[in-house]
């Protein structure tokens, strides 16, 4: 049985210094990459933008993990992409790659046998090949139509063995490609939402006010000549903590909340049965339109420190209402 090396007893300061050293080395590698970025990057962007098929990302080992992440980022930002394992590619998965696809191959050494084995096949098929390597003279770089240099001054690993700085710069360069393409395509937040329907991100970008608002018989509203008592009954039945005040054409005139009632009572006695709610309502309430994103309603509630919003159409007619609890139930906030 191999003896385990004795563990060093390290102080908090030792741990922090070790972490800072790694971050400094990787920061230096990133700065080196930034300074080295040249026309090859622009050429790669143009080829990826003009691609009529998909972007096929491939790599072995740690480079494969980075390639997989780059494929996911490209796909979620408007550039159809997927990952192919180079080992599996040589055993049948090459059939997944069509002649109008662009191949993005990652290998720090540029000499990975599994990748270089499939390059001649892809070249014969007519695929454009973009590579990221740390060795511009490597076989993979020579196979490529465009080579992106991801060499680093040093790895953060003190042994110089574990890919650290090299994987960091490769991932960052993949992000740079994805974002440059996103901007070139005019990719919007709505486009982004279509590929992210699940989770909080999808809810924030897809759920609209019309999906959540109370409407029809569940919409609290009274006419301007209704008494405060009538308004309170409407608020109690509809349970939104407010009621809209409208005219005969359902044109919005104002809003009455439990807060308005408290403020009125603080100023003196109020005859609930004889006082018209229009005398106590707040005029010019905050409103939204049904087609807006629900997250916009959340921003309005936060900005104005209110609990509910009325929904109107373009003619300022009342069509719905919602409050913070509706947004919480939909997990928009």
Range of the domain at 124: 19-187
Our count of domains for the chain comes to: 2
What pLDDT is stored for residue 2 in this prediction?
Answer: 61
Helix and strand tally (H, E) in the chain?
14, 12
pLDDT tier, 196 (very low <50, low <70, confident <90, very high otherwise): low
Which of 153, 187, 221 is the last residue in one of the domains? 187
227 and 183, same domain (yes or no): no
Each residue's pLDDT tens digit, 129-141: 999 999 999 999 9
Percentage above 90 pLDDT, the chain: 75
Span 204-231, average pLDDT:
91
- Please report, in angstroms and rounded to a whole number, the separation of the first and last CA atoms in the chain: 55
30 and 161, same domain (yes or no): yes
CATH code (residue 171):
3.40.50.10490
Determine, yes or no, domain membership for 294. yes
114 and 242, same domain (yes or no): no
Span 304-315, average pLDDT:
92
249 and 103, same domain (yes or no): no
> Which residue's entry shows tokens 């740690």?
62
Determine, yes or no, domain membership for 9. no
Determine, yes or no, domain membership for 2. no
Q: Closest Cα to residue 108, out of 66, 48, 51? A: 66
Residue 21, C-beta contacts closer than 8 angstroms, at least 6 positions apart: 156
The pTM of this model reads 0.69
As given in the structure block, the two tokens for residue 123 are 């070249």
CATH code (residue 315):
3.10.580.10
70 and 152, same domain (yes or no): yes
């Amino acid at each position: 049985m191999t003896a385990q090396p004795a563990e060093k007893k390290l102080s908090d300061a030792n741990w922090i210094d070790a972490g800072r050293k790694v971050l400094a080395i990787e920061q230096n590698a990133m700065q080196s990459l930034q300074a080295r970025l040249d026309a090859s990057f622009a050429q790669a962007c143009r080829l990826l933008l003009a691609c009529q098929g998909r972007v096929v990302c491939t790599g072995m080992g740690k480079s494969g993990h980075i390639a997989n992440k780059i494929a996911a980022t490209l796909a979620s930002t408007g550039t159809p992409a997927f990952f192919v394992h180079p080992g599996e590619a040589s055993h049948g998965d090459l059939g997944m790659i069509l002649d109008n696809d662009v191949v993005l191959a990652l290998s720090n050494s540029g000499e990975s046998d599994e990748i270089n084995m499939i390059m001649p096949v892809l070249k014969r098929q007519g695929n454009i090949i973009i590579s990221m390597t740390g060795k511009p003279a490597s076989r993979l770089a020579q196979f490529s139509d465009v080579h992106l240099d991801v060499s680093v001054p040093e790895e953060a690993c003190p042994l110089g063995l574990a890919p650290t700085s090299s994987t960091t710069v490769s991932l960052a360069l993949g992000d740079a490609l994805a974002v440059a393409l996103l901007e070139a395509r005019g990719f919007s937040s709505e486009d982004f939402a279509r590929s992210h329907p699940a989770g909080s991100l999808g809810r924030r970008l897809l759920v609209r006010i019309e999906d959540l608002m109370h409407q029809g018989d569940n919409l609290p509203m009274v006419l301007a000549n209704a008494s405060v008592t009538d308004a309170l009954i409407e608020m109690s039945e509809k349970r939104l903590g407010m009621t809209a005040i409208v005219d005969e054409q359902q044109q919005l005139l104002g809003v009455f909340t439990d807060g308005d009632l408290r403020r009125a009572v603080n100023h003196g006695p109020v005859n609930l049965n004889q006082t018209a709610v229009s005398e106590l309502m707040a005029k010019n309430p905050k409103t939204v339109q049904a087609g807006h994103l629900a997250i916009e309603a959340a921003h309005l509630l936060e900005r104005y420190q209110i609990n509910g919003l009325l929904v109107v159409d373009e003619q300022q007619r009342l069509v719905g209402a919602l409050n913070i609890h509706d947004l919480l139930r939909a997990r928009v906030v």
